[in-house]
Structure 1
Amino acid sequence: MGEPGVSNLERRYRVLLKVLPRWYRQDREEEMVGIFLAERDDDLDLEHSWPGWGETGAILGLSVRTHLAAGAVLTGVPAKVVWRGEVVRALGMLGLLLGLFYATAAIVSVVVGFGRPYQAPEPWWRVLELGPVVAFAALLNGRRTLAKVAAAAPVLVSMITLGQPGSVLTWSVFQLPSLVTFVCLCLGFHREAPTPPARRLLWWGGGAALLGVVGGFATGVGLLSVGLITVIVRVVAFVRGDFVLGRALSLFAVLQLVPLLFLVVAGGGVLVPAGGLALLLVLAAVAPVRQRVRA
């Protein structure tokens, strides 16, 4: 039995609004329900109707923006919500930089292998590996929709390789960090989120591309370099008291453990370095994150 005097439609709207954070609902739930129910006074409608698809989509979008708040668009946002949004956006950018690394490595590997005798032609879908390059440039220019569509290219590559049993395991392992951070990119950079600082990130993008050149010649070495830089920057973030970058790098370190452990199991010349770096990444993931104390 529902509350007396509360229609089924109102009850369904209130259930839908539970996707919003509690701090937001405390101030706005009654107002929003009132707007939804305005001019809907037909008894049959109130008994049997459900929230529309447009309203549901709008509430879900608002849920993302409020759970991952940014800037001064929302008022009364708890500090932990602001930090959460910043960490998700930082993790999304780290994933995009990793995508640049993979894209450059793919270009170099194709160029190096071009012209070799008995070299099989590259499949057409490998062009999708260049998606992170387009996504990086688009995001720095504030074109978020294009950035998200382009960043989805590695996801499509992973799906295509599902039809090629010999490539499934390798692609699944090495693309896992990109897939997870792609989700962070889509969620974190909503329409109210700030545009990333282009000048600073261009240097990071250049560094990712340079590592990609190394990775194009030797995949294991390039990947080890990415992991080592992650650990070094994690230490720098701790010393500087950069909570956002430190937390994002902790999560990023966890994601990199999967491909590194794959290299350890596969053995070869990178067995010892990969094992040692995996241990360092574990320490980077569990190490405390310090926030700078402001005077």
Structure 2
Amino acid sequence: MSGELERRYRRLLAVHPWAHRRVYEEEMLAVLLADARPGQTRPGLADTVDLVGAGLRARLRVGARGFTEPAWADAAAVTGLLVALVLAAAAGKNVLDQILVDPSLPPPFRPPATDPVDWLRLAGWAAVAVAAAVGLRRVAAILAWAGVAGWLALVGPGVADQPGYVVDTLPQFTLAVIAAAGLTVAAPPRRAARVLGRGRLAAVVAGPVAVVGLLELNRVTSPLFGGGEVSYESFYGLSTGSEPVMYLYLAGLALACLAVGVPVARLAPVVRRRVVVLLAPVAALALVIDGALAGWATSTVHMGHTIPLVGAQWAMLVLVPPVTFLAGVLLVRRREETQRMVALGRAADRERPTG
């Protein structure tokens, strides 16, 4: 009987971090078994709640300390700067779409005058990126959190009557939260610039600017709807008058993406893995919106009126990013712990005397 109870207590104690169990598990188990009733085979409800709660609190404390590691600080600094650049580029493209008139579109389809909010968004995220690059981390974090608050104030109220617009902007909102959180993590001055280096920092800055420039150039030179017959090539929103020109645009966009991707890929593995974990929630959210909510989005367009999302759909949109992030953190820690144990085993094998 005691063997069955001991096995079940050990399962509950497994909730605690391994380092804690290594020191205290046998002592805690002895106390629990000593307090057990004669013939008891299952832990009581109070013991179960206490052990699980204490284990989860211990894991949260360990997890919080883990985010103070230099690798997380480096990844947060780089990610905060990178996301701020992407958001500034997106805001810049939105402003340019309104300033640069597409000559191929008839007047009724041309964009309205620029909105002050669009200019404010561009200036705000550009300021965040500059502050992060020059080492004004606190200023960058405050401005980024102001951007998050601005989204909540301006877009958030549309949950009821404009759910489609809110859902479409959720990836950008998630990026804003990631940038703000990343820049809030304590790090030495100019950490992102030091981790990347001058050359890679310049490439990371040039990449988003080049993408926006190429997209705007393609838009204002589009051969569509210009009057009369035209020959054109179209590819995911890009339009050109000939196939070679299309290849040039695609090559330019590919190079611009590589200008950002290569510097990140060349970071130290411990930093690179954490950058991926920090950005994974955005990818997961975009997949959910494009996949699970594709039918809802199509129905909303064709029905001609707002179709509200149900509670489960909103819960999915809210929970996917944090769950993805926590899963990524656990995977990184497990991988690195496995690598550490393998390295210790190899070191022990090398030190073991032969013969």
TM-score computed with the length of structure 1 as normaliser:
0.51
1:126-185 deviation digits (Å, cap 9, x = unpaired): 223212211111222222333223334532442212244433222223321222232111
Aligned 8 A contact 1:89 1:185 in 2: yes
| Equivalent position of 1:105 in the other structure | 93
- Rate the CA distance shift 1:233–1:141 in 2: closer, same or farther, 3 A: closer
* In structure 2, C-alpha distance between the alignment counterparts of 1:209 and 1:257, rounded to whole Å: 25
* In structure 2, C-alpha distance between the alignment counterparts of 1:225 and 1:260, rounded to whole Å: 22
* In structure 1, C-alpha distance between the alignment counterparts of 2:259 and 2:206, rounded to whole Å: 16
1:262 to 2:258 alignment: no
Aligned 8 A contact 2:91 2:121 in 1: yes
| Equivalent position of 1:149 in the other structure | 142
Please list, as runs of the form range in 1=range in 2, the aligned pairs for 1:118-267 lying within 5 A after superposition. 118=108, 119-130=111-122, 131-159=124-152, 160-164=154-158, 165-166=161-162, 167-189=165-187, 192-197=188-193, 199-200=198-199, 201-214=201-214, 233=262, 236-237=265-266, 242-264=269-291, 265=294
* In structure 1, C-alpha distance between the alignment counterparts of 2:174 and 2:180, rounded to whole Å: 10
Please list, as runs of the form range in 1=range in 2, the aligned pairs for 1:26-41 lying within 5 A after superposition. none
Q: Which runs of 5+ in 1 are unaligned?
A: 1-64, 70-80, 268-281
1:14-49 deviation digits (Å, cap 9, x = unpaired): xxxxxxxxxxxxxxxxxxxxxxxxxxxxxxxxxxxx
* In structure 1, C-alpha distance between the alignment counterparts of 2:277 and 2:101, rounded to whole Å: 36
Q: 3-state SS of the aligned residue for 1:196?
A: helix
Q: Which runs of 5+ in 2 are unaligned?
A: 1-63, 220-235, 239-252, 299-323, 344-355
* In structure 2, C-alpha distance between the alignment counterparts of 1:235 and 1:143, rounded to whole Å: 22
Q: 3-state SS of the aligned residue for 2:90?
A: helix
* In structure 2, C-alpha distance between the alignment counterparts of 1:188 and 1:113, rounded to whole Å: 44
Aligned 8 A contact 2:89 2:212 in 1: yes
1:117 to 2:107 alignment: yes
- Rate the CA distance shift 1:163–1:114 in 2: closer, same or farther, 3 A: farther
In our comparison, the structure showing a higher alpha carbon Rg is 2
Number of aligned residue pairs: 196
- Rate the CA distance shift 1:154–1:102 in 2: closer, same or farther, 3 A: farther
Shift of residue 113 of structure 1? 5.0
* In structure 1, C-alpha distance between the alignment counterparts of 2:172 and 2:65, rounded to whole Å: 32
Shift of residue 204 of structure 1? 0.5
Please list, as runs of the form range in 1=range in 2, the aligned pairs for 1:34-49 lying within 5 A after superposition. none
Aligned 8 A contact 1:100 1:209 in 2: no
Aligned 8 A contact 1:129 1:157 in 2: no
